[in-house]
Amino acid sequence: MEFSAMILNMFFPDYDDPTHDAHIIDLGVSQSLWLANLGYHPWATDHHFRGPWHSTPMQFAAFLAPQLPSDCYIGFGVLSIPLYHPLRLVESMNLLDHQMKGRVLFGLGSGWKGTEPEAFGVDFEHHASGRAAEETLEIMERLWSFKDGDPEYHFEVGTSRGKIKRRVMPAPYTKRHPIIMRAASRESALIRAAKKGWPTFLGIFNADLRDQTQKYMKALAESNHPQDVVDDCLRWCTRDWLSVVIAKTDREAKELEKEAKAEQLAIRGRFAKKYGRLDGPVIRPKPGQSTADAYVAGGDMLETVAGSPETIARQVEELANIGINHLLLRFIGEWSGETRYICENSAKLFAQEVMPRFKSRPPMRDPRQALR
């Protein structure tokens, strides 16, 4: 089983002065290497105007690459593909795929609404509907498959356009294309990912985890992919735990959860008061509540996974039993705040007492094993 961890959670709105940028970037590097040496694959987000280290995450990852253990992957959760020119994005992904010898996990999705697409001139409706991401991904597929001698390929999406006469260089290191992990909250996107042979994130945005897993596995089984494609899907289909706290006892974990959340919510509140808006992922906004308000109120931490190593291990076992082989964890506790010790201790306890129970457990080889 595979385990990844998100670095620096999201961003540091308390540290937004230009004089803080170097410090935050250094923190991101040091935490990435610390997590990698504990046995996690470090993951970066892709955001703008909310921290200095993740506005160009592939450049950040390229700096980390030679410093990581030889079996370590780097992940992105997720690249907001409508904000990129498709050709430049494919070239960058292919090059990092070579630098990491295929050990890169490219989560792909639409990204957040609000200030980010506006800054890149992306039409709001085109972005919010999901069409911008789908159309960009279709172009990327064509670019990966384009061969010298093919007819010219013309494309246009949003503000990006191009005419291709030669193959993209470098070609990807990985067969077909780098490992793509599709963020698919809609059932149609989930089924499409299975038919394309792409791993996906399961149970995101309040979707029913078991139902989504069954639908994905059924579509994957019916798609008749080569075994290596099926193996990649079953190895990297991902459950994202947005908020995790681990302590010696369940009771202690619940107390630490309150402390970590309090610091994070205070930081978000200060930022929102200063700038008037703070977008982020939420599980279930209240009726009439904007996602920005829900994020300030902790809408991404409603379903915190908190408990002792034994309690957490039982939950990991449940995931493995329904066919999920990859877990992405976000240990709460501010890395540059008073609750850093909560994040550190949670990551250590999981690595020392939970991870070893599952590390040698192989993924399923047949998606029909998960259909019950």
pLDDT tens digit sequence for 251-289: 999 999 999 999 989 988 887 887 776 666 655 566 766
Give the pLDDT score at 184: 81
Residue for token pair 């200030």: 115
Q: CA of 110: how far to CAs of 59, 128, 370, in Å?
A: 20, 8, 29
- Tokens found for residue 46: 């892709």
Give the pLDDT score at 283: 58
- Burial class from Cβ neighbours inside 10 Å (0-12, 13-18, 19+) for residue 21 reads middle
| Separation of alpha carbons 75 and 100, rounded Å | 11
Strand 41-44 to strand 74-80: parallel, antiparallel, or no bridges (unpaired)? parallel
**Domain ranges (residues) in the chain:** 2-248+306-370
Q: Could you read off the pLDDT of 176-219 as tens digits, one per residue?
A: 999 999 988 788 889 999 999 999 999 987 789 999 999 999 99
Query: CATH for 2-248+306-370?
Result: 3.20.20.30
What is the full DSSP assignment across 304-333? -EEE-HHHHHHHHHHHHHTT--EEEEEE-S
Residue for token pair 């998960």: 370
Global pTM exceeds 0.75: yes
Nearest to 240 by CA among 154, 326, 340, 362: 326
Give the pLDDT score at 307: 98
Average pLDDT over residues 40-62: 90
pLDDT tier for residue 64 given thresholds of 50, 70 and 90: very high
Average pLDDT over residues 306-310: 98
| Separation of alpha carbons 52 and 12, rounded Å | 9
Q: What is the dihedral of CA 35, 292, 19, 330, to 10 degrees?
A: -10
Query: pLDDT over 70 for what percent of the chain?
Result: 94
What burial letters (b/e) apply to 92-113, b meaning 16+ CB within 10 Å? bbbbbbbbbeebbbbbbbbbbe
Query: pLDDT over 90 for what percent of the chain?
Result: 74
- Tokens found for residue 126: 């085109």
Q: Could you read off the pLDDT of 24-46 as tens digits, one per residue?
A: 899 999 999 999 999 999 999 99
- Tokens found for residue 71: 């079996």
